[in-house]
Structure 1
């Protein structure tokens, strides 16, 4: 299927539309008929623009979209870092319990706490992000998050080592003796205290994560042309892979150390991201969609010119298209609030966004998040497990790059359904392999299947979910919708993290690859939900998406329904 074949047939060419304009209908939106013509032409230009043409004419838009998406690398880094901590021998011996000769494991409750604390903080952050973004914009909200990130890393880094024991205390009655008698009371468990503080540090880091994940897909989808929305929002998943690669390389390099620096150095590496990103985003333009919603038309025009090729005439047409869509949505309600997400057709859009986000936790993704530990539980040696994790992370990056081409050729719904179905098959095969008599061959077969499942997710479900999320919400409610959708992700992830740790941990159910049965079953549910409720929004402008939802078009008919360029309802 070519890019052009997938475009809706209802788009009118600019040379035919002027004589067919319903002026009275247009004046409900704009008083200026010429402005309506510009809006028509601007939308038709976006429909006609191919992927490569859009890249050549909007290189700066691609750069700024990627920069914003790259902020997700910090959440990815920390998530994968916690997954590797529980597999580090030095960390296990410092904080774990002994389960066999020279075998240590972090208790399930502490594993879950390390994984969940950051997500709990991010849950708070995503709800803060929407109102703050509506007030000060995507750029300044993200810059604020980067400043907070720099500060909160200090907590995790400086409390990640137990403090030296306090000096012995002198009892008052010993002063009457010739030589003071030192207290023999044991010191409290400094190891538990340090783990507790590390968990607190992760929770604090999670708050700015919420800012990043709420704003990145929304900003990226608003600054690039229609044909690039899929590829640019898919870079969110690539940022996850980049974070996992850095973590895999760092923990592999330090996993043989027997002191606290085996995990302190990877923690310190988090500081390489916030400051450079802060500087870049300070120089980035604000989303013209946000500026128009705030009534700052001149700034919006300047932003469009900076994002594109600088052509003033084309920028004027794009501005008219944006203004038209924003004014159409303004007729549906006033200032956006969280309650608006639950009203009318926006409720349907909110449900789709929440389901897409939540479903990322049910199709085998948690195997990738704990890949090193999964490999160890599958019977691979610790050193080999860290090597496989590095290979796994690099392959995920390759899969992310391939997803750019998939989004250009295939629809969002098609990619999601086929990707989920593929992972369902591999997850059940993983469960079967783990159920037979275990040998070295079956151990490596489980590890390879885990890598394949991660690869499929990173090339299909992962990146396309971010695209769907950014396209589904209305422009007026986008900052709030992406935040609430991510909150649904955390609501689903927090118990799933506990379940994943319980399934893999030697002190829990110790299922290893048999967890494929569980994740395969949940992935089947995700596939069925998507088949009935997931609409196809590839090559649909935000105005067309609004109309399709307002007309209550069934999900499976979104692709074939014709929307005229003159329609405003």
Structure 2
């Protein structure tokens, strides 16, 4: 059926008329945008319950990358894994995982994910979010086999690299999908769920490795690897029944399917499908380009600024305390904490992270993305320098060890209150709709490109056979956090309560970042 013609869904009794000209549906688009602006958070939740549910489901894919990142981080501190793959430390005769392999194992997944994020953009642009994620989940099922049966560090490295490919698809698609299926008021909590599920993945790893850390046979690491199979198949089944993003369908000109998708996301008695679809068409028409989306466009015109913001926010996650969080157990061990207490603190850190992500939903929704990001980054800078100071004062005393462990825990937890969850919202909102899968993929690629050398640096700084700095690494990460804070202050705009139309216009008008809050965009403006 021609999408410009009258369409009636007999089953549900819903009807709408698609007009041929922009002028014909602009009034409906304005009405839908005003309705979203006027909603409170609770009204949005009540009006779009299924949108919240499907955002929750797609966010679950992040558990798998989180689980494996923290799993490898914990393996280098796991006695059974060290006994099997470690070498003798000449300094004291103990077994340790060599620095080169410790770093290699922790970057292998990121190398695969770097491949995955570049595949995700073209793949998702072509087949949509649903099928791209299902494809990734099936790949992951197969690659876990390699990890489980691998019995050497090179094979484990290869398995992690392969698993990273579907991770890249999930991490590129999840923030884009979540931000597209919910109304303005729910964009912050919907995208911040990704950070919560990152914390949930680390909690599961922390609990499993805490239980098995005193097992000295291979079950101590084989069982945690096998537990990865709990996630892909059930998630693939759920995602099969999920609605495709109506924004993606609108970009493809599949308006009837977009209308059905909109109706599946909200309560039918509160939905105005015609108006909502008109709002989407208005933004798509503003961004209209007959050429197929490609990576070169990300670096042209105003899209360059948007790409730099997404890439900068992603890169900064590695430079403001995140690597201490990802290697929490190993950090605690190198700070002088015993094995049992180190694993217990790692589990506590993960649990607190999940709680603080929930608190961040409220803070980011009401106080804005820029404010929370800047204040959180500033606090982490102070704490990281304090960590370095604590390690510089009688580094191996009990008091210094406890101070370093406490500050490392606080840095890891505070990261999930400010910079981390705010980042996901910024990433989901900043890119142009037409280029969104490509922009989020490019941003995540930047994350991995920065993270890979940082992991080598972090491992070298902490490892007894490397720099053996312990908490003094706080000086290094404190310096990088300060640079990120300054750049964000001058370059990061506030997009709270802004529709995608308003965001497009403000970027096209090149409004400076610090003026966004006070800028008014007329509801009739299209450019």
- Residue 408 of structure 1 deviates from its aligned partner by 1.6
Which residue number in structure 2 is paired with residue 189 of structure 1? none
Indicate conservation of the 8 Å contact 2:179/2:191, yes or no.
yes
Indicate conservation of the 8 Å contact 2:365/2:496, yes or no.
no
Which residue number in structure 1 is paired with residue 8 of structure 2? none
Of the three residues 36, 57, 68, the one matched with 2:58 is: 68
- Residue 311 of structure 1 deviates from its aligned partner by 3.9
Of the three residues 130, 136, 140, the one matched with 2:131 is: 140
Q: Secondary structure at the match of 1:561?
A: coil
Q: Does 1:411 align with 2:402?
A: no
Indicate conservation of the 8 Å contact 1:30/1:324, yes or no.
no
Of the three residues 138, 145, 154, the one matched with 1:196 is: 154
- Residue 94 of structure 1 deviates from its aligned partner by 1.2
- Residue 440 of structure 1 deviates from its aligned partner by 1.0
Which residue number in structure 2 is paired with residue 535 of structure 1? 493
Indicate conservation of the 8 Å contact 2:263/2:271, yes or no.
no
- Whole-Å separation in 1 of the counterparts to 2:313 and 2:485: 11
Which residue number in structure 1 is paired with residue 409 of structure 2? 451
Of the three residues 157, 164, 167, the one matched with 2:148 is: 157
Deviations 1:427-466 (A, max 9, x none): 0110000000132121111111111001110111111101
- Whole-Å separation in 1 of the counterparts to 2:82 and 2:295: 43
- Residue 400 of structure 1 deviates from its aligned partner by 0.9
Q: Does 1:126 align with 2:126?
A: no
Pick 1 or 2: higher relative contact order, CA cutoff 8 A, min separation 6: 1
Which residue number in structure 2 is paired with residue 88 of structure 1? 78
Aligned residues: 507
Indicate conservation of the 8 Å contact 1:129/1:211, yes or no.
yes
Deviations 1:282-311 (A, max 9, x none): 010000000001110000001001001124
Runs of 4+ more than 6 Å apart: none
Relative to structure 1, the CA distance from residue 297 to residue 133 in structure 2 (aligned partners, 3 Å threshold; closer, same or farther) is same
- Whole-Å separation in 2 of the counterparts to 1:98 and 1:495: 25
Q: Does 1:258 align with 2:229?
A: no
Of the three residues 484, 491, 496, the one matched with 2:449 is: 491
Q: Secondary structure at the match of 1:477?
A: helix
240-249 vs 400-409, greater mean Cα deviation: 400-409
Q: Does 1:433 align with 2:390?
A: yes
Q: Secondary structure at the match of 1:330?
A: coil
- Residue 102 of structure 1 deviates from its aligned partner by 6.5
Which residue number in structure 1 is paired with residue 14 of structure 2? none
- Whole-Å separation in 2 of the counterparts to 1:213 and 1:393: 20
TM-score normalised by structure 2 residue count: 0.95
Indicate conservation of the 8 Å contact 2:47/2:270, yes or no.
no
1:158-307 matches, within 5 Å, as: 158-159=149-150, 161=151, 194-307=152-265
Q: Secondary structure at the match of 1:459?
A: coil
| Structure 1, gaps ≥5 residues long | 1-28, 162-193
Which residue number in structure 2 is paired with residue 45 of structure 1? 35
Q: Does 1:111 align with 2:124?
A: no
- Whole-Å separation in 2 of the counterparts to 1:97 and 1:153: 26
Indicate conservation of the 8 Å contact 1:221/1:471, yes or no.
yes
Which residue number in structure 2 is paired with residue 399 of structure 1? 356
Q: Does 1:35 align with 2:25?
A: yes
Which residue number in structure 2 is paired with residue 388 of structure 1? 345
- Residue 103 of structure 1 deviates from its aligned partner by 2.4
Q: Secondary structure at the match of 2:433?
A: coil
Which residue number in structure 1 is paired with residue 277 of structure 2? 319
- Whole-Å separation in 2 of the counterparts to 1:527 and 1:66: 30
- Residue 316 of structure 1 deviates from its aligned partner by 1.4
- Whole-Å separation in 2 of the counterparts to 1:144 and 1:417: 37
Which residue number in structure 1 is paired with residue 314 of structure 2? 357
TM-score normalised by structure 1 residue count: 0.88
Q: Does 1:79 align with 2:69?
A: yes
Q: Secondary structure at the match of 2:293?
A: coil
RMSD: 1.2
Which residue number in structure 1 is paired with residue 298 of structure 2? 341
Indicate conservation of the 8 Å contact 2:75/2:81, yes or no.
yes
Deviations 1:457-513 (A, max 9, x none): 011111110110110000000000000000000000000000000000000000010
Q: Secondary structure at the match of 1:476?
A: helix
Of the three residues 412, 437, 447, the one matched with 1:479 is: 437
Deviations 1:289-348 (A, max 9, x none): 0000111000000100100112486121111000100011005x6321111101110011
- Whole-Å separation in 2 of the counterparts to 1:515 and 1:116: 19
- Whole-Å separation in 1 of the counterparts to 2:248 and 2:22: 22
- Residue 101 of structure 1 deviates from its aligned partner by 5.6
Q: Secondary structure at the match of 2:434?
A: coil
| Structure 2, gaps ≥5 residues long | 1-18
1:2-21 matches, within 5 Å, as: none
